[in-house]
Amino acid sequence: MGENDRMTQVEKAIIGLRGLVMSGEFDAGSRLPEVALAERLGVSRTPLRQAMDRLVSEGLLERIESGGCRVASFDLDDINDAIELRGVIEGTAARLAAERGVDAEVIADARGLLARIDEGISGPNSVDFDLYVRLNARFHDMLAQMAGSDLIRREVDRVCRHPLASPNAFLRGQEIIPDFLASLVRAQGQHHAIVDAIEAREGARAEALAREHARLARRNFRFLRDADPRLATRIPGLSLVTAQ
Amino acid sequence: MGENDRMTQVEKAIIGLRGLVMSGEFDAGSRLPEVALAERLGVSRTPLRQAMDRLVSEGLLERIESGGCRVASFDLDDINDAIELRGVIEGTAARLAAERGVDAEVIADARGLLARIDEGISGPNSVDFDLYVRLNARFHDMLAQMAGSDLIRREVDRVCRHPLASPNAFLRGQEIIPDFLASLVRAQGQHHAIVDAIEAREGARAEALAREHARLARRNFRFLRDADPRLATRIPGLSLVTAQ
DNA sequence: TGGTAGCCGAATGTATACACTGACGCGTAG
DNA sequence: CTACGCGTCAGTGTATACATTCGGCTACCA
């Protein structure tokens, strides 16, 4: 990986540790040993501890009073709250974008992006899943910026990074769900509606739509959870979910 | 300071650095020298850098691409956005509390707290300002917990810690405003209404009230800004505000 | 005289060494 | 046999030492 050279040790530790925790390498609630982890990630303890601070603020780890960190565990309520929060924050971004207005060019960009998603999911019968995931993430990024506020953009990014509430969380693996394509179509319909509302300066509608849009994540999660227990070890983050 | 013994070096650095920055010791946009700061705060560079990470995530500092941190600067839009965000988050806490319901005991506690505030501001003619500030903070803490979600509570705490959007930000110094007491009375009226709405399970109303309640901070800030430029050096955080 | 290249210094990012606290185990006494 | 106390040690929190990079200054050339 050539771009590893430009990656600082802290980023390396953040990405590596996040990947390890999400993959279920450590049981939920287990304490993370710093020295062993540092060696495993190929960094020293200093950047590793910075990475741990970061993951604590993301909610993926919890600090232990007596020292150190443990892997967080989530129940259904936690996930629903995180999804609710994302809906609220993205809803605010959409509302502010509508109220404050955005350049026609930005609207056009968003429409272009949505057109590409339309193509992707209305193909013959095989959906380019990775493409959808990538474009979906980009759409939510665009939404974050449309309010024209750095603070709002940062906050949207934050809640979208939440391991169990990101727009693409639990999207991989959905292939097994029968009407999974219908779910994508529905989500995409909401994307269009949100952009419409922003363009029409309908703040309340944009906010409500974005909130409801986040709710799809609940369905996705429940489907996946009920589908097959064996998936828990294959879907990133699913191993951190406790049985209510 | 007896409890300084139990305070970790990182907390010491966080509190000290936050105080230094808020006091206007450093100009907005100026780079923070680590070695000098560490010596001044009586800690080593390691906990100081952790504190800087924390203040970056709080928005008080900004990371510089080439390395190090600088003091953030805020214009009116930044402050309005931060206040808006707090209103949205606190509004969500209020709405969820109403929708999910809270124990009668908690409602009673909140009422008791509000009664103490009522006493404080309806006294003869002198208002116990520090008392109001403290009880106001406690009320917002209680609100954060009422949703019954750790995630929501943490997020409310986060946005309330934002230097320029906290419920008590720019409250000190308001004594000079003629109808400042009227402003407190109005805020207190909203406190009561929020609790009423939560008790009555009126989620939408609770949310709207909490949002509007945050808007009072805008007025407070504008009053203070227009009042007397000399105050800038005495009100914590005001020195970080640029002239639009 | 202005601009550029190269070097030097300072300050950050990282690694490592040290200190101290909390936990586990072993031994002894009741 | 159990319970309490002490000692050891693993592991975190903190300090310091090292390396690397960025910025600034000077000197030289056009």
> Which distant-in-sequence residues (6+ apart) come within 8 Å of B9 by Cβ?
B43, B44, B47
pLDDT digits (tens, 9 = 90+) for B190-227: 999 999 999 999 999 999 999 999 999 998 888 888 87
Give B4's pLDDT tier (boundaries 50, 70, 90): very low
Same structural domain, B13 and B133: no
Q: What percent of chain A has pLDDT over 90?
A: 70
Q: What percent of chain B has pLDDT over 90?
A: 70
3-state secondary structure of A171: coil
**Which helix (H) or strand (E) covers residue A170, if one does?**
none
Closest to B62 in 3D by CA, of B74, B71, B50, B75: B71
Same structural domain, B106 and B227: yes
pLDDT at residue A213 tops 80: yes
The verdict on residue A88 lying in a domain is: yes
Same structural domain, A31 and A82: no
Return d(Cα B54, Cα B15) in angstroms, integer.
Answer: 11
Give yes or no for A96 touching B (CB within 8 A).
yes
Which residues in chain A have their CB less than 8 angstroms from residue B84's CB?
92, 96
pLDDT at residue A39 tops 90: yes
As a whole number, mean pLDDT of residues A216-243 equals 82
Same structural domain, B44 and B91: no
The residue out of A25, A51, A71 marking a domain boundary is A71
pLDDT at residue B22 tops 90: yes
Same structural domain, B63 and B111: no
What is the number of structural domains in chain A?
A: 2
Q: Of the ranges A236-240, B12-16, B24-28, B135-139, which one carries the lowest mean pLDDT score?
A: A236-240
* Comparison of pLDDT for A71 and B177, the residue scoring more: A71
The verdict on residue A239 lying in a domain is: no
Q: What is the pLDDT of residue B178?
A: 64
**Which helix (H) or strand (E) covers residue A217, if one does?**
helix A203-227
Same structural domain, A155 and A84: yes
Same structural domain, B81 and B175: yes
* Comparison of pLDDT for B231 and A129, the residue scoring more: A129
The verdict on residue A117 lying in a domain is: yes
Q: What is the pLDDT of residue A173?
A: 67
Which residues in chain B have their CB less than 8 angstroms from residue A84's CB?
92, 96
pLDDT digits (tens, 9 = 90+) for B38-52: 999 999 999 999 999
> Which distant-in-sequence residues (6+ apart) come within 8 Å of A214 by Cβ?
A83, A84, A86, A87, A90, A91, A165, A167
Average predicted confidence (pLDDT) for chain B: 90
Distance between B198 CA and the closest CA of chain A, angstroms:
18
Q: What is the pLDDT of residue A175?
A: 66
pLDDT at residue B71 tops 60: yes
Distance between B7 CA and the closest CA of chain A, angstroms:
13
Q: End-to-end alpha-carbon separation of chain B, Å?
A: 40
The verdict on residue A25 lying in a domain is: yes
The spacing between the Cα labelled CA in A66 and the C1' in C22, in angstroms, equals 7
Give yes or no for B65 touching A (CB within 8 A).
no
Same structural domain, B178 and B221: yes
The verdict on residue A100 lying in a domain is: yes
Per the structure, the residues numbered 34 to 63 in protein chain A that have their CB within 7 angstroms of any atom of strand D are 34-35, 45-46, 49
pLDDT at residue B99 tops 90: yes
pLDDT digits (tens, 9 = 90+) for A231-243: 777 888 888 998 7
SS (H, E, C) chain B: CHHHCCCCHHHHHHHHHHHHHHCCCCCCCCECCHHHHHHHHCCCHHHHHHHHHHHHHHCCEEECCCCCEEECCECHHHHHHHHHHHHHHHHHHHHHHHHHCCCHHHHHHHHHHHHHHHHHHCCCCCCCHHHHHHHHHHHHHHHHHHCCCHHHHHHHHHHHHCCCCCCCCCCCCHHHCCCHHHHHHHHHHHHHHHHHHHHCCCHHHHHHHHHHHHHHHHHHHHHHHHHCHHHHHCCCCHHHECCC
**A33 neighbors A58 (Cβ within 8 angstroms):** no
Nearest-CB residue to B92 (from A88, A149, A155): A88
Which residues in chain B have their CB less than 8 angstroms from residue A155's CB?
85
Query: Which residue range(s) make up the domain with A54?
Result: 2-71
* Comparison of pLDDT for A219 and A86, the residue scoring more: A86
CATH number assigned to the domain comprising residue A107? 1.20.120.530
Nucleotide nearest to A67 (CA to C1'): D12
- Tokens for B129, please give them: 């300002």
The verdict on residue A222 lying in a domain is: yes
ipTM attached to this prediction: 0.90
Size of interface A-B (CB pairs under 8 A): 47
The residue out of A71, A94, A110 marking a domain boundary is A71
Nearest-CB residue to B155 (from A49, A85, A92): A85
Same structural domain, A114 and A220: yes
B241 bridge partner residues? B74
Same structural domain, B15 and B103: no
CATH number assigned to the domain comprising residue A33? 1.10.10.10
pLDDT digits (tens, 9 = 90+) for B50-66: 999 999 999 999 999 98
The verdict on residue A158 lying in a domain is: yes
> Which distant-in-sequence residues (6+ apart) come within 8 Å of A22 by Cβ?
A60, A163, A236, A237, A240
Q: End-to-end alpha-carbon separation of chain A, Å?
A: 40
Q: What is the pLDDT of residue A117?
A: 93
- A87-108 burial string, b = 16+ CB within 10 Å, else e? bbbbbbbbbbbbeeebeeebbe
Which is it for strands B69-71 and B61-63: parallel, antiparallel or unpaired? antiparallel
Same structural domain, A122 and A190: yes
Q: What is the pLDDT of residue A125?
A: 62
Return d(Cα A71, Cα B151) in angstroms, integer.
Answer: 16
pLDDT at residue B244 tops 70: no
Give B175's pLDDT tier (boundaries 50, 70, 90): low
As a whole number, mean pLDDT of residues A60-66 equals 94
The residue out of B37, B71, B105 marking a domain boundary is B71
Q: Of the ranges A117-131, B139-153, B191-205, which one carries the lowest mean pLDDT score?
A: A117-131
Q: What is the pLDDT of residue A224?
A: 80
The verdict on residue A235 lying in a domain is: no
As a whole number, mean pLDDT of residues B18-32 equals 94
Q: What is the pLDDT of residue A2?
A: 37
As a whole number, mean pLDDT of residues A183-199 equals 95
Same structural domain, B86 and B103: yes
> Which distant-in-sequence residues (6+ apart) come within 8 Å of B71 by Cβ?
B21, B26, B27, B28, B29, B30, B32, B60, B61, B62, B240
